[in-house]
Each structure stands twice: as C-alpha cells, then as structure tokens.
C-alpha cells in the first residue's frame, strides 16, 4: 500500500481492511477448491482459520482503539463489504485505500489545512479606522499576532500566525513591529492589500480518540507538557514545548485550558490539532495581554469550504 493517511490509526485500519479482504478472497478460493476436490474424490484439508497466517493478530488491539474484525465492519464501505462476500480477482483494490476512521473530505481537516503558497487579502477599515489585526516581527518577518473578532481581518480569513509578506505591494521583510503598524494605520481606509503566507510556524496533525474519548497528552496554558505513552498523540508525533493554536481549525489562542478541553471533548473521533513552537507562540502574544486575547481574539469556527 502507498499514499498518505490522516493518522497512523487510519493507516492501520486500512491495512486491516486489506487483510480482511484478502482473507475473504482466500476463503472463497478454498471453497472452490473443496468443491472441485469433492467432484474428483480428492481430500483437501481446510484452513484452520479464516485469518491464519495473515498476521491479523497484531491489529486486534491498538492502544485502546478497537480495530478488531467486528469493529472494522463499522468502517467498511458497502462496496467493500460486498467484495468480501463475493470476491473476484478484479475486485482486489491493491494499493487503494479501503477504509478510514477519519472521513474522506473531513471538514475539520479542511478548516485546519495550511495551504502552501501566497494569497492576496484585500481589506477595508471599519468606521473607527481599524483593520482588526496586531502584528509582531520575528526573524525578519512580520506575523499576525492578534485578530479581533468580527473585524475585517477575521472576515477575510486572517489567522493567528499568518505571515504578512507585503502591504500594498511593499515588501515588509526586515521591518519592525512599529513600522508595520504605522504603515497599516496610514493605509487607505477603502482598500488595504496584503500578500499572506499561511501560518509558516505551525503544523497540523490528526489524532484519534480512544474508547475513553482521550487523545493522550497534557497541556497547561495551552502548552503541551507531556505525551501519554501508547496513545494516539504519541503514535502520531505530537511534541512537547509546543502550544495549541487551533482545534479542528478553530482558534483556541487565549482560551482557558478547560475551554480547550471542552472543544476537544466535543469534537468528533478524529481531531486535527494545529501546534506552534512555544518560543514563537510566546513571542507573538507578548505584551498583548491575556484578558485582551480572551475577550477580543477571534475564536469563531471557520466556515466550511
């Protein structure tokens, strides 16, 4: 098999589906051989088990996630189930993925996706002359450190951690915070054009809840401080010294830990996390103030695309 999977659990469940389909096809083949042997008077010893020798045992319990044969059936698409019942050689999908815990075209993954490349954002100031963003300079780049809820910046889809490359066609590399803010304030209220790169300091990863609705990590003030052994967080490469920035694409910067836990708890089985190295995160929010971030930062759920 080849290709990319949202999580390690998705890869494992797909492996098991291929094993189960191969076993069903083998059982069909054995039955045909038995029928042929019966007609000729020969004796063919039946297989001891439908899954004997296929290595299925390693899949039966995977860190609290039930992916046994019975549990697998809830993920198997109807066409695959039919193939298992009446397999023929041309129905074997080979490297094609059969099943996935994370739904295809998962809305949360689409909301959290970090696009490669540069996009243009055009804003108009509100009646108070505000765009609704604060910026910070890091490593000769200018980054979005704050997005006011309901502002032009929020409605245009700007997010915490986005990098601003140009303001009205003027490249901002090497600028200080003060120069970037001054340029934004002086810009025409009717039209401010930004060239933006999506959250270059961030990365996303999808994890899967176990039977206890747990992912497997500990965080304090949104910073990940510990990873629980043999959990989805550990299997999928979550790291400490990183801060949670988004959960399923929803900005959680400035929310209290119980509020973030509630968002994670109410999320579907597959959860996409956006994380940022803590040293960058702390630099971006420095001097903004928790109360301002908590009360005025945009925490809305991004629209479905």
Looking at domain 201-296, its CATH superfamily turns out to be: PDZ domain (2.30.42.10)
Q: Can you give the pLDDT at residue 49? A: 45
The domain spans of the chain are: 8-101, 118-197, 201-296
Q: 304 pLDDT band (50/70/90 cuts)?
A: low
* Top-confidence residue, 285 or 22: 285
* Top-confidence residue, 26 or 7: 7
303 close to 107: Cβ distance less than 8 angstroms: no
- Residue 214 burial (CB < 10 Å; 0-12/13-18/19+)? middle
Instruction: Average the pLDDT over 45-57 and give the result.
Output: 46
Q: 64-94 pLDDT, tens per residue?
A: 665 555 655 555 555 445 544 444 433 334 4
Q: Can you give the pLDDT at residue 247? A: 97
- Average pLDDT, whole number, for the chain? 83
Distances (CA, A) of 211 to 3, 64, 260: 27, 6, 20
Q: 233-249 pLDDT, tens per residue?
A: 999 999 999 999 999 99
Is residue 29 helix, strand or coil? helix
Q: Can you give the pLDDT at residue 56? A: 43
* Top-confidence residue, 105 or 171: 171
Helices (H), 95-249: 107-112, 152-155, 177-186, 232-235
- The 8-class DSSP code of residue 303 comes to P
- 118-197 and 201-296, same CATH topology: yes
Instruction: Tell me which of 3.30.950.10, 1.10.10.60, 3.20.20.70, 2.30.42.10 is the CATH number of domain 118-197.
Output: 2.30.42.10
Is residue 137 helix, strand or coil? strand
């Amino acid at each position: 098999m080849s290709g990319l999977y949202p999580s390690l659990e998705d890869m494992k469940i797909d492996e098991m589906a291929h094993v189960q389909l191969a076993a069903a096809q083998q059982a069909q083949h054995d039955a045909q051989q038995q029928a042929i042997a019966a007609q000729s008077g020969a004796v063919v010893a039946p297989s001891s088990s439908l899954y004997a020798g296929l290595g299925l045992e390693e899949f039966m319990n995977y860190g609290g996630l039930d992916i046994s044969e019975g549990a697998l059936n809830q993920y198997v698409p109807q066409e695959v189930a039919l193939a298992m019942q009446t397999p023929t050689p041309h129905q074997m999908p080979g490297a094609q993925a059969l099943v996935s815990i994370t739904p295809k075209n998962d809305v949360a993954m689409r909301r959290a996706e970090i696009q490669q490349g540069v996009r243009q954002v055009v804003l108009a100031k509100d009646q108070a002359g505000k765009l609704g963003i604060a910026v910070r300079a890091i490593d000769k780049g200018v980054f979005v450190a704050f997005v006011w809820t309901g502002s032009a910046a929020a409605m245009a889809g700007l997010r915490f951690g986005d990098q601003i490359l140009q303001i009205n066609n003027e490249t901002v590399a090497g600028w200080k915070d003060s120069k970037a803010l001054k340029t934004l304030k002086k810009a025409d209220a009717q039209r401010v054009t930004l060239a933006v790169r999506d959250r270059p300091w961030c990365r996303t990863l999808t994890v899967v809840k176990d039977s206890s609705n747990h992912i497997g990590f500990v965080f304090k003030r949104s910073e990940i401080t510990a990873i629980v052994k043999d959990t989805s967080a550990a299997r999928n490469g979550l790291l400490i010294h990183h801060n949670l920035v988004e959960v399923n694409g929803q900005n959680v910067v400035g929310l209290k830990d119980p509020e973030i836990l509630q968002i994670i708890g109410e999320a579907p089985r597959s959860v996409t996390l956006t994380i940022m190295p803590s040293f960058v995160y702390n630099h971006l929010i420095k001097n903004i103030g928790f109360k301002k971030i908590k009360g005025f930062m945009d925490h809305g759920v991004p629209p479905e695309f």
